[in-house]
Amino acid sequence: MVAKSNSRGRGEALRASLWFWPAVAAAGSFLLTLLVLTIRPEPGTAWASVVWPAGTQAASTVLQVVATAVMTAMTTTFSLTVVALQLASQQFSPRLLREFARDPKTQVTLAVLISTFVVASTGLRGMGSEAPLPVLVPALALLLGLASAATLVMFLGHIVRTLRVDSMMVAVHQEATATVAETYPDYEDTTKDPDPDLPGPGGGTLLRSRRSGFVKVIDPGMLCQAAAKHQMFLLLGVRPGDHVTAGAPIGSVFTEQGLPAAGPEVLDRAVEQAVEMGFERTLEQDAALGLRQLTDIAVKAISPGINDPITAAHAVGYCSDLITRLQQKNLGPQQHLDAHGRVRVVTPDRDIRYYLDLVCAPIRRFGAGEPLVLTALLRMLRACASTAQDESQRHEIARQVDLILRTMDADLIDDDAQTVHDLAGRVHLALAGNLDDAFRDRAGETRSV
């Protein structure tokens, strides 16, 4: 697993905060306005007449109009954002809400609107005094007002695009793809495969969690430093995406000789810093979350209240692309070395069976009576079969095909059942290496990406 620093984890948390950057923009605008208020050229100055040719009364009116209009625009923006969050939660997946909160266009829109309001309202305090007019303030407020109007139009178009389910699936797919590329080494790269002589589960002294929550990020480098300092070996038992309860075991600690270590609590502080937890899962090191989000969309789409199997099939198509990418990676546990080349930490991870079950199990159960959904799963498995790297992957694909056929609703009419069986047969052709016949079905569909 590629290590990511705590600073990056905190950066992602700030990025996911809807109010952080707008608040920074508001503070900056306030300080800028106070600074600009001190610039008061004498009446009749050439550059001042160009910047603001009108008088104090006109400046005050402009500031009031801008502040009022921007407040109305912010109300509209907040309403649209709430509607988007509600639709995403109810119709697609509650796990998509984080993506809306960290949407940079939404944050930019809020930052521009709030900055404009701060400049206009703060600038009013400099109007009406006997001192010369601070001409830069109304000019700045006017420019920001025009920028706010343009930003609001952009935001309306952005919301319309974002609320399309295909846009949501593309966004999730892109982030999950980046996570897969950053988190896992290539299939041929075995440099991090654990040494078979290392201690395994079932021994060692248990290390317990001090906190509850989802594991977001793990920094193996920090764990290696702490283990080397105390001459210990840590077999970690949790991975990004796992939910941990305070007091539950999260690993086993051994001496350098492979014996249970005494006093494992010396690693508590390092583990607390290196294993970042939160109240929700994130995609930083958790590729499974992307597949979970896409699977949620598929399951919601085939629910009785929505009845949209085509959307479910498209979601499966995006899952297909992600799983074929995972097949090209070296999955499973990884060992991590200290500065002297000694193995100090082993981190667990998920295998290809987990990822296939994650996608196939809920969709085949909820879509057992819909041939469109079942054939979409089989097309995904056919794509996986065409890129399988070893017999273990092929075995898991064949297992999923068998489970789909066993789950299929017995009430399907013969033609529909035959279509499902035909795709299942083509998956087996792909597993046998006969890709030409495997992909020559009538539909000709493979995947959505």
- For residue range 111-168, list pLDDT tens digits in order: 999 999 999 999 988 786 677 888 899 999 999 999 999 998 898 888 878 778 888 8
pLDDT at res. 447: 46
In the predicted model, is pLDDT for residue 433 greater than 70?
yes
CA neighbor of 137 nearest in space, from 46, 52, 61, 25: 52
- Asked if pLDDT for residue 3 goes beyond 70, the answer is no
Confidence of residue 246 (pLDDT cuts 50, 70, 90): very high
* Mean predicted confidence (pLDDT) in 324-346: 94
pLDDT at 167: 84
Look at residue 349 and tell me whether its pLDDT is greater than 90: yes
Query: pLDDT at position 427, please?
Result: 96
Label residue 354 exposed, middle or buried (CB < 10 Å: 0-12, 13-18, 19+). middle
The C-alpha atoms of residue 362 and residue 358 are separated, in whole angstroms, by 7
- For residue 277, the cross-strand partners are 215
Q: Examine the pLDDT at 186 and tell me if it is beyond 70.
A: yes
Give 20-44 pLDDT, tens digit per residue. 888 999 999 999 999 999 888 888 7
In whole angstroms, give the CA distance from residue 340 to residue 264.
22
Q: What pLDDT score does 279 carry?
A: 87
86 Cβ partners below 8 Å, 6+ apart?
none
The burial of 268, by beta-carbon neighbours within 10 Å (0-12 exposed, 13-18 middle, 19 or more buried), is given as: middle
Tell me the mean pLDDT in the region 225-241: 93
Question: According to the model, what pLDDT value does residue 5 have?
Answer: 44
Q: Nearest Cα to 297, choosing from 172, 142, 381, 136?
A: 172
CB-CB contact of 48 with 54 (8 Å): no
Helix axes 371-386, 414-431, angle to 10 degrees: 10
Residues 6+ apart with CB under 8 A from 74: 110, 113, 114, 117
Give, in degrees to the nearest 5, the angle at Cα 95 between 356 and 325: 35
Amino acid at position 94, single letter: P
Q: How many whole angstroms separate alpha carbon 227 and alpha carbon 142?
A: 59
Residues whose CB is less than 8 angstroms from the CB of residue 406 and which lie 6 or more positions away in sequence, other chains included: none
Q: In this structure, which amino acid lies at residue 78? A: F
Mean pLDDT value across residues 61-74: 90
Task: State the pLDDT at residue 99.
Answer: 67
Other beta carbons within 10 Å of 87: 16
Per-residue confidence (pLDDT) for residue 44, from 0 to 100? 78
CB hemisphere CA count around 135 (13 angstroms): 17
Amino acid at 292: R
State the helix-helix crossing angle for 56-87 and 136-162, rounded to 10 degrees.
Answer: 20
Token couple for 306 = 């929505």
Higher pLDDT: 15 or 390? It is: 390
How many angstroms separate the CA atoms of 421 and 405, rounded? 8
> How high is the mean pLDDT of the chain?
88
Mean pLDDT of the 201-214 span? 89
Sign of CA dihedral 201, 206, 211, 216: negative
Q: Where are the beta strands (DSSP E) in 158-272?
A: 205-208, 213-218, 232-236, 243-244, 249-255
C-alpha to C-alpha distance for 322 and 301, rounded to whole angstroms: 20
Q: What is the mean pLDDT of residues 227-247?
A: 93
Whether 222 shows a pLDDT value over 90: the answer reads: yes
Q: What percent of the chain has a predicted confidence (pLDDT) above 90?
A: 61
User: Which letter, b or e, does each residue of 56-77 get, where b requires 16 or more Cβ atoms within 10 Å of its Cβ?
Assistant: beebbebbeebbebbeebbeeb
